């Protein structure tokens, strides 16, 4: 609340204290004949001050509660951000390792093809006599590009 | 009349106590760039006289590309589920 940010807390305590003192003094003044005239206005003013003072006591308590909640929330958000970063690092590390493994396995198979498959007698015979039909290549390309077969003819 | 004005002004002042906002918001984190990469296009076979060896190598490369993409996709799912859980833990308390 802007008024509580603007004014120091002691003012609101003072309002309540002045109100209580005013109310007590109004009762005392009632018994003094020369001050009896001021009894009612002081009493009304004191009741108003007490009402305002009590309201601000509640508002200050509420404000303190909110500030505590905000501080608690800030700590939780900071903890969550740290945990989030920690998990990010774990996931990145794990993913990089998995990707390396996948690439290595793929490369191993290609190396095997270059090293062993090309020397295989049956394969050599097949390569010499049977080129892959264009329709097979077109079908493969269509599948690889996820396009209709007609587009790769 | 003066008393009514005074009451109106004091009521307005008192009502301002209701205007309380919590200035703390948790921002959903950004995903790591590694898992935000798009999956590459699979390789096609070029040329007319293609041997079974080249065909096999291209197919192998494409399978490898698929598995790379699957790893990134799995990582994305895992990242999202973990971050969602962390985010909901703040909100849920």
Would B4 be classed as within a structural domain? Answer: no
B36 token code pair: 């935000």
Between A95, A103, A145, which is nearest B34 by CB?
Answer: A95
Q: In total, how many domains does chain B have?
A: 1
By CA distance, what is B61's nearest residue in A?
A106
Would B5 be classed as within a structural domain? Answer: no
pLDDT confidence bin for B93, thresholds 50/70/90? low
By CA distance, what is A108's nearest residue in B?
B60
A18-49 core/surface letters (b: 16 or more CB in 10 A; e: else): ebeebbebbeebeeeeeeeeebeebbebbeeb
Of residues A101 and B29, more confidence is placed in: A101
Cross-chain Cβ contact B26/A77 below 8 Å:
yes
CA distance A106 to B60: 7
By CA distance, what is A111's nearest residue in B?
B57
CB of A129 within 8 Å of a chain B CB? The answer is no
pLDDT confidence bin for B48, thresholds 50/70/90? confident
* Rg over CA atoms, chain A: 43
Question: How large a percentage of chain B has pLDDT more than 70?
Answer: 73
Would B14 be classed as within a structural domain? Answer: no
CA distance A83 to A18: 52
**pLDDT, position A29:** 83
Alpha helices in A1-151 (DSSP H): 2-6, 9-29, 39-115, 121-129, 134-145
CB of A98 within 8 Å of a chain B CB? The answer is yes
Residue A103 CB-density burial (10 A; 0-12 exposed, 13-18 middle, 19+ buried): middle
**pLDDT, position B29:** 86
By CA distance, what is A105's nearest residue in B?
B64
What ipTM goes with this model? 0.74
pLDDT confidence bin for B63, thresholds 50/70/90? very high
Closest CA–CA distance from residue A134 to any residue of chain B (Å): 7
A31 SS3 class: coil
Would B9 be classed as within a structural domain? Answer: no
pLDDT at B4 over 80: no
Would B67 be classed as within a structural domain? Answer: yes
**pLDDT, position B19:** 53
CA distance A85 to A136: 48
Query: Residue A123's closest CA among B63, B56, B58, B61?
Result: B56
Closest CA–CA distance from residue B1 to any residue of chain A (Å): 17
Of residues A64 and B71, more confidence is placed in: B71
**pLDDT, position A36:** 79
Question: How large a percentage of chain A has pLDDT more than 70?
Answer: 97
CA distance A18 to A12: 10
Average pLDDT, consecutive stretches of 10 residues, N- to C-terminus, chain A (153 residues):
78 93 89 82 92 92 90 91 94 96 97 92 89 91 89 64
CA distance A63 to A69: 10
Which range (A34-38, B60-64, B65-69) has the least confidence? Answer: A34-38
Neighbours of A70 (CB within 10 A): 14
pLDDT confidence bin for B7, thresholds 50/70/90? low
CB of A84 within 8 Å of a chain B CB? The answer is yes
Between B13, B19, B72, which is nearest A95 by CB?
Answer: B72
What's the length of chain B? Answer: 93
């Amino acid at each position: 609340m802007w008024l509580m940010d603007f004014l120091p807390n002691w003012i609101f305590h003072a309002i309540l204290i002045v109100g209580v003192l005013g109310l007590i003094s109004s009762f005392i003044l009632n018994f003094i004949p020369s001050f009896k005239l001021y009894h009612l206005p002081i009493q009304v003013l004191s009741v108003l001050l007490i009402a305002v003072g009590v309201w601000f006591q509640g508002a200050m308590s509420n404000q303190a509660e909110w500030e505590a909640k905000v501080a608690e929330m800030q700590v939780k958000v900071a903890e969550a951000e740290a945990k989030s970063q920690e998990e990010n690092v774990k996931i990145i590390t794990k993913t990089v390792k998995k990707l390396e493994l996948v690439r290595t396995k793929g490369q191993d198979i290609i190396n095997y093809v270059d090293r062993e498959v090309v020397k295989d007698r049956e394969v050599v015979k097949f390569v010499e006599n049977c080129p892959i039909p264009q329709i097979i290549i077109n079908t493969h390309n269509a599948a690889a590009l996820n396009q209709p077969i007609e587009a790769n003819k | 009349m003066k008393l009514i004005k005074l009451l109106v002004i004091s009521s307005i002042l008192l009502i301002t106590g209701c205007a309380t906002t919590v200035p703390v918001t948790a921002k959903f984190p950004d995903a790591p760039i590694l898992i935000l990469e798009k999956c590459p296009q699979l390789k096609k076979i070029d040329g007319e006289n293609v041997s079974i060896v080249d065909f096999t190598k291209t197919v192998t490369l494409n399978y490898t590309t698929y598995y790379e993409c699957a790893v990134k996709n799995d990582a994305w799912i895992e990242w999202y589920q973990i971050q969602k859980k962390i985010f909901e833990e703040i909100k849920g308390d």
